[in-house]
Structure 1
Amino acid sequence: MILREGMKWTIPPAILSVIFLLMAVQNSKVLPVFLIFAAITAIITLFFRDPERRIGDGVVSPADGTVLQIIKRDGYHEVHIFLNIYNVHVVRSPIEGTVVGVEDVSGGHKPAFARGAEKNRKVRVMIKEQGHEWVVELVGGLLARKPISWVRVGDRVLKGERIGMITFGSRVILRIPEARAKILAKPNEKVVGGETTIGEFL
């Protein structure tokens, strides 16, 4: 499945691919141009893919990618996940709960893997579960200028449910209440959004 947000990026090169393919039938010199636009279409389609997931146990990863670091701060475990351009960029809820806050936070546009990237522009989603507040931050990067949230305050979300996306390389920060869950994820671990168990409830 392809995200609707990706259609505006996918359709133009796809149309040009068809046009240049038809031209290449008459003139083989146009074939390289067709191949370029076909490759662009394939890459964009790959980026905006949205596969179904088999939801894992416990606290699941909110995104595909690599765990950069895990920090204890202010009563929370912070799990930082880096998404490269080849990862699925749909962000999912790590637990079942109710959305109690959605904030658009201004900031910079450093590469998502760089130190200090957590201060980039982001969308912060707060989810209340069993009296605890969990935080999922969709952090933009050098190209990912505006993360997108698909939820609003008052929405009830299921574990693994899609809550937003970030485009073209980014970072997701999950803040897990220390009193509510134990961290199982480790730095440099590859995780799959909605499937990989990164914590267990206490």
Structure 2
Amino acid sequence: MSEVVPLPAVAPGTWRYARIPLICSLPLVLVSPFLAVGGLSVAAGIVWFHRDPKRSPPPAGVVAPADGRVSIVRAEGDRVRVAVFMNVTDVHVNRAPMAGTVGDVEHTPGKHLPAFTKESERNERVRIDCGECEVTLIAGAVARRIHPYVESGEDLERGERIGHISFGSRADVLLPARFDVEDVRVEVGQRVRAGETVVASS
């Protein structure tokens, strides 16, 4: 008996995006095999983009909320912000930096400017109060949908999935007030992995 190959783990809603090019590819086989292959390639690319691999959080420390490169480390009053820019090749499922209880989940409409620029401060975003820390998911130039997974009152474990951004773009963590810049363990330009890389510890 042949071994059954499991479907890849993907973010919720992935197949809704992938089904359109997938369905369109079927009749295109009769018209143009080249276009049919193109449709299948687009569907495969969407599934790959929304992949959701397992992660193993460390026992301590504040972990990265996203895969990608650190784009910002800065003090904001008595708090420190660490931002991670997600490239198109990065996993876009976001994770809780710390254990805690969700306070609120707030959506703010806005623009869709490149997430690596200063102008992205005006972009659409979803702010998730994770208890001691705060995570903000920010849409980018290509991103058009932020999907939070959590609601107010839910308990979170370190590294637990909290949402994903379809086709974009940046995730910020605002550290608890007890952390300062000297407690940050990453630097701008460094690659990090959501739920695994420690970005701050005291």
For 1:10, the equivalent position in structure 2 comes to 18
Deviation at 1:178, TM superposition (A): 4.1
Once residues 194 and 187 of structure 2 are traced to their aligned partners in structure 1, the CA distance between those partners, rounded to angstroms, is 15
Once residues 39 and 146 of structure 1 are traced to their aligned partners in structure 2, the CA distance between those partners, rounded to angstroms, is 22
Once residues 187 and 40 of structure 2 are traced to their aligned partners in structure 1, the CA distance between those partners, rounded to angstroms, is 38
Conserved? CA contact 1:122–1:146, under 8 Å: no
Gaps of 5+ in 1: 25-29
Among 68, 73, 77, the residue aligned to 2:76 = 73
Among 120, 124, 139, the residue aligned to 2:123 = 120
For 2:148, the equivalent position in structure 1 comes to 149
Once residues 112 and 166 of structure 2 are traced to their aligned partners in structure 1, the CA distance between those partners, rounded to angstroms, is 13
Once residues 149 and 33 of structure 1 are traced to their aligned partners in structure 2, the CA distance between those partners, rounded to angstroms, is 34
Which consecutive segments of 4 or more residues in structure 1 shift more than 6 A? none
**TM-score in terms of structure 2 length:** 0.88
Give the aligned residue type for 2:65: P
Once residues 144 and 46 of structure 2 are traced to their aligned partners in structure 1, the CA distance between those partners, rounded to angstroms, is 17
Map 1:1-202 to 2 at 5 A.
1-21=9-29, 23=30, 30-56=32-58, 57-128=60-131, 133-180=132-179, 182-200=183-201, 202=202
Conserved? CA contact 1:97–1:127, under 8 Å: yes
Deviation at 1:164, TM superposition (A): 0.9
Identity of aligned residues (%): 33
Paired residues, number: 191
Give the aligned residue type for 1:33: L
- Offset from partner CA, 1:11-45 (integer Å, 9 cap, x none): 12223334444x38xxxxx2211221121012101
Deviation at 1:73, TM superposition (A): 0.7
Gaps of 5+ in 2: 1-8
Conserved? CA contact 2:79–2:179, under 8 Å: no
Once residues 110 and 20 of structure 2 are traced to their aligned partners in structure 1, the CA distance between those partners, rounded to angstroms, is 31
